[in-house]
Amino acid sequence: MSKELTKKELRDISYRWSWHRSLAWNYEKMMSLGYLTTLTPFIEKNYKGDEEGRMRAYEVHSQFFNSCPNLSNIILGVDVAIESKLGKEGLDTVSAIKNSLMGPFAGIGDALVVITNVIFGSIAVAMATEGSVIGFLLWLVWNFTLMFYLRPLLLRVGYNRGIELVTTLSDKLKNLTNSASILGLMVVGGMIASIISVKFGLINIFGSEIDLQVQVFDRIMPKIGNAMIVALCYFLLGKKRITTVKLIWIVMILTLLLAFFGILISP
């Protein structure tokens, strides 16, 4: 399967991402539905006559996704390049690349956009407070440039790199998929250690107070509480009757109970 995308098709994907990225945003899968609906026309065209591939593509792009909206264009570009060349055979690679890049791109992209917005926003506000309409126009120009030039450009960069990937490294695609999967797991592991915060308190055993965090768990693995709560959530989500909402309630009730007995304390 090899279907070259036109500049217009790539541009349309970029524009759809601008409008769809927060479509039905939710705490379970975040930008997943926006990603899926962005690629729906591409999926329908790319997998025409291949029902199995089409359904598999819908499944892959329904998975959790959350990253910087602007640098996500690069991920989208790499994605459509691989799928247009390899079809359903490239979906495992696409999934691994999405999981491995969305974390780093979120940190880098959000920082760059915030800094740039502060620069342009500060200039625009300063000029506007002096009564100059140029400040307002400057802010509009920056946002239109970002949406109609920079984002499509980033998507084309991702697409071209994706094409190079499947043409020059096709024989090493399996190794690349494994490498991207490992990187994705490392990113998730880093997020578990840095974002989640679980701290154990004191317990009384036979009249002796023991600091679970300092005297026990810190000596084993300082962030073991974070890993335990994630492992519990992962295990419960594998159960048929456990939904995300039910899981949130379970974690809340469990946390309150453990805090009441002093097993957990505020970090």
Encode pLDDT of 90-137 as tens digits: 898 888 888 888 888 887 777 777 778 878 888 888 887 887 788 788
Q: What angle do CA 261, 258, 225 make, to 5 degrees?
A: 130
Residues 105 and 42 in one domain: yes
- pLDDT tens digits, 81-91: 989 888 888 89
Contact 93, 173 (CB under 8 A): yes
Residues 94 and 58 in one domain: yes
Indicate whether 234 belongs to any domain.
Answer: yes
Q: For the whole model, what pTM was predicted?
A: 0.71
CA–CA gap between residue 14 and residue 178 (Å, rounded): 28
Q: Of 127, 159, 190, which marks where a domain is finished? A: 190
Mean pLDDT of 216-223: 78
Residues 57 and 150 in one domain: yes
Residues in the chain, total: 267
- What is the helix (H) or strand (E) element at residue 26, kind and residue range? none
- What is the helix (H) or strand (E) element at residue 165, kind and residue range? helix 151-168
Indicate whether 1 belongs to any domain.
Answer: no
Residues 175 and 258 in one domain: no
What does the pLDDT read at residue 12?
A: 93
Q: Of 190, 225, 250, which marks where a domain is finished? A: 190
Number of domains in the chain: 2
Residues 108 and 178 in one domain: yes
Residues 167 and 241 in one domain: no
Residues 100 and 50 in one domain: yes
Q: Of 190, 212, 245, which marks where a domain is finished? A: 190
Indicate whether 35 belongs to any domain.
Answer: yes
Residues 16 and 147 in one domain: yes
Indicate whether 2 belongs to any domain.
Answer: no
Give every CB contact of residue 103 below 8 A, 6+ residues apart in sequence: 67, 184, 187, 188, 190, 191
Q: How distant, in Å, are the alpha carbons of 33, 98, 152, 194 from that of 23?
A: 6, 19, 19, 28
- pLDDT tens digits, 179-193: 767 776 777 777 777
Q: Which residue segment(s) compose the domain that 18 sits in?
A: 7-190
Residues 181 and 203 in one domain: no
What does the pLDDT read at residue 57?
A: 92
Residues 37 and 60 in one domain: yes
Residues 138 and 217 in one domain: no
What does the pLDDT read at residue 172?
A: 63
Indicate whether 178 belongs to any domain.
Answer: yes
Residues 179 and 155 in one domain: yes
